[in-house]
Structure 1
Amino acid sequence: MFANGALGQVAASADGVFALLTTANPVVGKLVLLTTYVVRSLDQAVTDLGITQENNPGLLKALTEFYSVAPSGTELWLRCYADTVTLTNMATLSFAGGLQSLFNEAKGRLRGVFIHRTPAAGYEPVVADGIDADSIAASAAAQLTAAWTAETLKAPAFIIVSGLHYQGNPVTLPDLTIGSLNRVGIMIGDTASGNGCAIGVLAGRLASIPVQRNIGRVKDGPVVTLSHAYMGAVKVETADVTSVHDKGYITLRTHINRAGYFFSDDPLATLPTDDYNHITARRTVDKAYRLAYDACLSELLEEIPINDAGQVSVAYAKSLETLVENAIVSSMTSNNELGNDPANQNDTGVQCIVDTTQNIVSTGNLKVGLRIKPFGYNRYLDVELGFKTISQ
């Protein structure tokens, strides 16, 4: 007889399991539109789905860029649509064959969705605001869809939309920092000059890093090294990256003394004062939500000891607090995904509190308070430089 469980091992994380929704041409006997595929490498996608530069250049580019950053073996859900389907269609909850059916099919496995398209030849975008209006409309629809999967399926996710047909003038761009779409981001930037978006690069970077990690972290190295990066028709080096960044878009940039291209930051389309205004915050809190939900689910319809006033017993409240905290500590704190103070051995970065004055008998409802501690991030480094005083 061998004892088991002492090592505290956990299953491989699904934190980087994403979906790509995009337009494509069907491939006879291989790629069927409105069908979900799970791929784990570029070679598998090319072989199994018959994707080539000739029949699906846009799809091949997105998958190639995804696996240029994410390691082979990374799970990616793929669903393709006709080139007449818009970003807004794909982002809309009620769209036939759209995100609602995908989220239901995935059964909570998806942590993020990336929405992209290669429009049909002759497509004429509405660009009065300096970007395809479809990208902006899709972001609003995506927020409703992301809220639905969090609230209804208890499976929170974020959604990133390709910012297509950027016209090169950030002045006209809608300001995302005055919005309230804290589950949605828009990316502007590509590895080719034109109207596209290198959303595969972004998805690949996010799939390859832990939830608390910023996509622009310099220590992780550049995301684009073998080609130039563009914003519309202009190379990133000469584009007004700062203004695009300041309006809340995810984009690419360069750093002096560093080769290649990096992400500028990871903003979501919401107010700077929103607690969830960055992908790092969104992914971190969503992971804690999923862990807490799973821990609490085991207690649903459990018999709860009570005192003479019908209130939850202190012992049970403490056991539930410990259950939730341990779930998050083992999956997040132990993996350095929370900003707990290493100098304080008692700081786990998570606190769960059950109010024992709640009357569980009369309401049947038990409220649980949960707080997690995020990391801080060096978004700016100001160094004051001067001469050291020399004693005479």
Structure 2
Amino acid sequence: MQLPRVKIQFLNGQLGTVGESPDGLMALVCGAEAVGDTMALNEPYTISGMDDLTALGVTAGNNAALHKHVREFYDEAGNGTRLVLYPVSTGETMAALCDYTESGKGFIRDLITRQNGALRGIGIANVGDGAAGSEGLAADVYAALPKAQQLAEWSTTELYAPLFMVIEGRSYSSPKSLKDLTQEDYNRVCVLIGDTLQDGKGACVGTLLGRTASVPVHRNIGRVKDGSLFPLEMFIGGRKVDESGSAVAEIYSKGYITPRKYVGRSGYFFTDDCMACDITDDYAHLAMRRVIDKAYRVVYDTALDFLLDEIELNDDGTMSLGVVKSWQQAFENALNRLMTANGELSADASGEGCKCHIDEKQDIAATSRIKVQVKVRPHGYARYIDVDLGFLVTSAS
């Protein structure tokens, strides 16, 4: 006999695709050196600005990478935004850190558990030896992908705490040899290429986490209207992004996130918010991932109130119509109040952005199992705009 519980399945294939907020709570797992008795490795620290990092004794001198990523996070997100730091040994690998079967200190599962399901996204940076691999990035990047996906799925199913992972594209060498991530199925993981340092081994994970933390869940991190990223110079390997147009296009075509330039606009922008999976996956973009993850949390919280509650039944063991309607209304009201009203779901003419359906013919008396289907209406995104432009003049007859 199973314990009473709530189970939520993500529907896929439904789209036909050919500051401070708990929704933006990010964690940075970063290779670092312990600092006296103020910052130990394998311990989480919640900070709200650079002053808090200074209080931990972290400087650009004793922890250059950690200091850089945190500074770039706050350049985007602004002081006051919470960030959870989890400093680890630089000798670890991303694949090992993401192993969900490892629950001890120094593994990301420990971080997730100790944050009690509050984290929405985790970025990993500055770990591993950074040795270049044969597929355009350090081999550890690709080894970490399935581990990170499994870890995020574990967090979702076991803790009811869905989240996404950002993998630092370490030791980038060439776009041509990069593995094509659109052939993978890691829809909770994205890989970032491009940095604020020329010829650096890492990527600007702090910048990406900061931009994500600063925008609502339905917002694409590459949205031009939100303005350019903070860094004044950004690089793809040894070349400035300004000089890497063809490389950026090829990197993007293979499913990676990278900075880019737009003619006529100053500054840099993220190309898009691709996850490491087939583009036809409903959750192939970070915005879609974040929207459905927030909906998951809302639906879980709503369903939990009904667990082991009394159900009025008809003679045949099915739910009474009044109960069915009240349950459907409860799920829809919660999603519309917490998401549609905030613009995070697309509203119809009546102002609703979701639909809940419960089959009235379910035999609850015999099974004690109630099947609920909830669908939310996401936003579309203008990735390609085609304009026909000409003169508004007709020739005289």
TM-score range relative to shorter protein? over 0.9
Partner residue of 2:385 out of 381, 388, 392:
381
**Shift, 1:388, TM fit:** 2.4
Can you list the C-alpha shifts for 1:181-220, whole angstroms capped at 9, x where unaligned? 0000000010011222110000000000000000000111
Which residue does the alignment assign to 2:186? Answer: 181
Partner residue of 2:220 out of 208, 211, 214:
214
Which residue does the alignment assign to 1:100? Answer: 109
On the 8 A contact 1:83/1:117 being kept in 2, the answer is yes
**Shift, 1:391, TM fit:** 4.6
On the 8 A contact 1:14/1:109 being kept in 2, the answer is yes
Matched, 1:234 2:243: no
- In the TM superposition, 1:158-307 aligns within 5 A as 158-167=164-173, 169-194=174-199, 195-225=201-231, 227-239=232-244, 240-307=247-314
Matched, 1:43 2:51: yes
Can you list the C-alpha shifts for 1:340-366, whole angstroms capped at 9, x where unaligned? 24xx1x241111111111111111111
**Shift, 1:94, TM fit:** 2.5
Q: Secondary structure at the match of 1:161?
A: strand
TM-score normalised over the length of structure 1: 0.93
On the 8 A contact 2:125/2:205 being kept in 1, the answer is yes
On the 8 A contact 2:94/2:127 being kept in 1, the answer is no
Q: Secondary structure at the match of 1:255?
A: coil
Q: Which amino acid aligns with 1:43?
A: D
Matched, 1:144 2:150: yes
Q: Secondary structure at the match of 1:298?
A: helix
Which residue does the alignment assign to 1:4? Answer: none
Identity fraction in percent: 40
Which residue does the alignment assign to 1:6? Answer: none
Distance in 1, Cα, partners of 2:381 & 2:78: 26
Distance in 1, Cα, partners of 2:130 & 2:260: 28
Distance in 2, Cα, partners of 1:160 & 1:262: 17
Distance in 2, Cα, partners of 1:106 & 1:363: 35
On the 8 A contact 1:215/1:263 being kept in 2, the answer is yes
On the 8 A contact 1:39/1:77 being kept in 2, the answer is yes
On the 8 A contact 2:298/2:335 being kept in 1, the answer is yes
Can you list the C-alpha shifts for 1:274-311, whole angstroms capped at 9, x where unaligned? 00000000000110110010011011000101101101
Matched, 1:127 2:133: yes
Pairs aligned (count): 372
In structure 1, runs of 5+ residues without a counterpart are 1-11
C-alpha root-mean-square deviation of aligned residues, in Å? 1.2
Distance in 2, Cα, partners of 1:18 & 1:124: 24
TM-score normalised over the length of structure 2: 0.92
Distance in 1, Cα, partners of 2:380 & 2:161: 26
Distance in 2, Cα, partners of 1:235 & 1:311: 65
Which residue does the alignment assign to 1:315? Answer: 322
Distance in 2, Cα, partners of 1:34 & 1:166: 27
Which residue does the alignment assign to 1:9? Answer: none
Q: Relative contact order, CA 8 A, sep 6+: which one is greater?
A: 2
**Shift, 1:57, TM fit:** 0.3
Higher mean alpha-carbon deviation, 322-331 vs 199-208, is at 322-331
On the 8 A contact 2:25/2:83 being kept in 1, the answer is yes
Can you list the C-alpha shifts for 1:307-350, whole angstroms capped at 9, x where unaligned? 01101111111111111111111111111111124xx1x24111
